Structure 1
Amino acid sequence: MPVALPRLVATDLDGTLLRSDGTVSDRTRRVLAAVEEAGVEVVFVTARPPRWLDALAHVVGRHGRVICLGGAAVWDLAGCSALEVTGFDAATALELVADLRSAVPGVALAVERTDGPAFDPWFPKDEPHLPAALRAVPVEEVLDGGAPVGKLLALRPGSGLSTRPGDVVRGATADAVQDEFFARVRGTVGERAHLAFSGAAGLAELLAPGVTKDAALARWCARLGVDRADVWAFGDMPNDLPMLRWAGRGIAVANAHPDVLACADAIVGSHDEDGVAAALEEALSSR
């Protein structure tokens, strides 16, 4: 039976709304516009940093904002500025970096801030267009100023895997080597950071305590006066689970991680089948 439209739709991007090639299909673009025209707010909630959002400006909606960095920031695309940032201060980030270096020899680290990233010189060069200066020195040497660190990335030594958006290795969580790496990272950071997993194998994503997609989405909804019961959330990876559990209706795409499929209120077609768009089309048709 068709389900009526909610007041707000929150959706992850990579592996959920976007196709495997990182694009928004024409069908999805049309449906998002129709949903907005029907009075429903659509907000993207993504692990992406701000620099990976410009290509999506045409589908963000009239508000022009994205919850990014896994919930650490709200980014205004039109103004190219952060409206909200919750992250590690320099002192905490430095402590975490030092402890990770000691616990995982050879670990490759990167920091994501709303004013730009920084990488260890040996971090994989998946973004060759970035200035070489961002890789000139180990990250701890650039942590004495700037915006809070929204996300600290730790790449397993020897993994040699891509961290670009959309380059997800689905079998990663079954890898005993990766499980051991995550356990070591988790044991090292303790309560000082929250460990998230958005799909890139071998990559541990560390956020400040309390920073999750659901917390950022809850603040967004509170400002609009939207109750969680009136929210649909779409996702595919474990870092989407808090958001899917918080929303009135948590929906997984068919290609989602097994843990996400197991907890979802509903499952729609895969990201390459425009599953999010199909679900919203059905709701629109029931009006």
Structure 2
Amino acid sequence: MTGRPRLVASDLDGTLLGPDATVSARTAAAWHRLPELGIESVVVTARPPRWLRSLESLVGEHGTAICANGAFVYDVPTQTVRQSHAMPRDLVLELEATLRERFPGVGFLAELAAGVHVSPDYPGIPLEWTPAEKSDWFPQGATVHAPLAELAPDAAVGKLLARRGETDDAGFVAAVAEALGDRATVAQSHHGGPAEIAAPGVTKASGLQHWCDTLGIDAAEVWAFGDMPNDLPMLRWAGTSYAMANGHPDVIAAADHTCASNVDDGVAQVLERL
């Protein structure tokens, strides 16, 4: 650890949050002290906007989240998108056609700035549910069991999920990336998760860089924390990077430092030294 950062960026699941997807009192306290030290903070997550409402207690009154793997910069308290780097409908339908030809039985879920659009063959989405179950799955507006061709003409898709079954291994994600080539960016944010497809060049690093540019902060002044391969671009871009002890082996190998696991409040342990 050298010097003091001007901005701290952290992934959420597996990093800033514990295994139960909540933030511990210790980690929250360390995160909330950063403004007292004159240090900016931002969460950088694969989560879409619809899964960020519960973060208000963490990010504070002026909390910002870079979400959908860099596609959106989202103001959590006001629930508004401040920056968008999304895919147009035509590109989404082109990518869908390529993958349906290559992977029979694949299903899709499109994350929008507000809401979600789910194709009929996307695995794991119930055909029937109670209002409470639907609210849990989709706290914002949803179009469910409808072909992607029914996306609105002006739809901007931050992230397109492609899935063949209840779980998808890294081999499937790599094959999706090979099939799409330079037409998209493909990532995976959790073990067994789907292939997460974004516009070309859109990563956690690009989203964080755009946000830092608005603040006049250089990459060398940023500390970043992460645990999964979708964090690698951000960790490589930041001046100082930390992998969680519970992280993917590729992440641990690439980061400048390894901190304690999310179970042991690894991010907080580092920040408390400030």
Aligned partners of 2:93 and 2:149 also within 8 Å: no
Q: Is 1:214 the counterpart of 2:222 in the alignment?
A: no
Deviation at 1:62, TM superposition (A): 4.2
Deviation at 1:4, TM superposition (A): 3.8
Q: Distance in 1 between matches of 2:26 and 2:142?
A: 40
Q: Paired residue for 2:8?
A: 9
Q: Distance in 2 between matches of 1:133 and 1:235?
A: 29
Superposed, 1:120-139 pairs within 5 Å as 120-123=119-122, 124-125=124-125, 128-129=134-135, 130=137, 134-138=143-147
Q: Paired residue for 1:275?
A: 266
Aligned partners of 2:18 and 2:263 also within 8 Å: yes
Unaligned runs of 5+ residues in structure 1 are 162-168, 174-178
SS of aligned partner of 1:67: strand
Give the alignment partner of residue 204 of structure 1, picking from 169, 180, 195: 195
Sequence identity, in percent?
Answer: 48
Where has structure 1 moved over 4 Å in runs of 4 or more? 130-133
Give the alignment partner of residue 142 of structure 1, picking from 128, 150, 154: 150
Q: Paired residue for 1:166?
A: none
Q: Distance in 2 between matches of 1:246 and 1:68?
A: 17
SS of aligned partner of 1:244: helix
Q: Is 1:241 the counterpart of 2:232 in the alignment?
A: yes
What does the per-residue CA deviation read over 1:12-68, in whole Å, with 9 as the maximum and x for residues that have no partner? 000110000000000011111112211111100001001111111111134321100
Q: Tell me the TM-score normalized by structure 2.
A: 0.90
Match for 1:228: what amino acid? A
Q: Paired residue for 2:62?
A: 63
What does the per-residue CA deviation read over 1:81-122, in whole Å, with 9 as the maximum and x for residues that have no partner? 111111111111111111211111110111001121111223
Q: Paired residue for 1:36?
A: 35
What does the per-residue CA deviation read over 1:135-164, in whole Å, with 9 as the maximum and x for residues that have no partner? 2322x23223344111110012xx323xxx
Unaligned runs of 5+ residues in structure 2 are 127-132
Q: Paired residue for 1:116?
A: 115
Q: Paired residue for 1:176?
A: none
SS of aligned partner of 2:213: helix
Change (3 A) 1:28 1:191: same
Q: Distance in 2 between matches of 1:185 and 1:146?
A: 25
Q: Tell me the TM-score normalized by structure 1.
A: 0.86
What does the per-residue CA deviation read over 1:211-265, in whole Å, with 9 as the maximum and x for residues that have no partner? 0111111111111111211110000011111111111101101001000000111
Q: Paired residue for 2:94?
A: 95
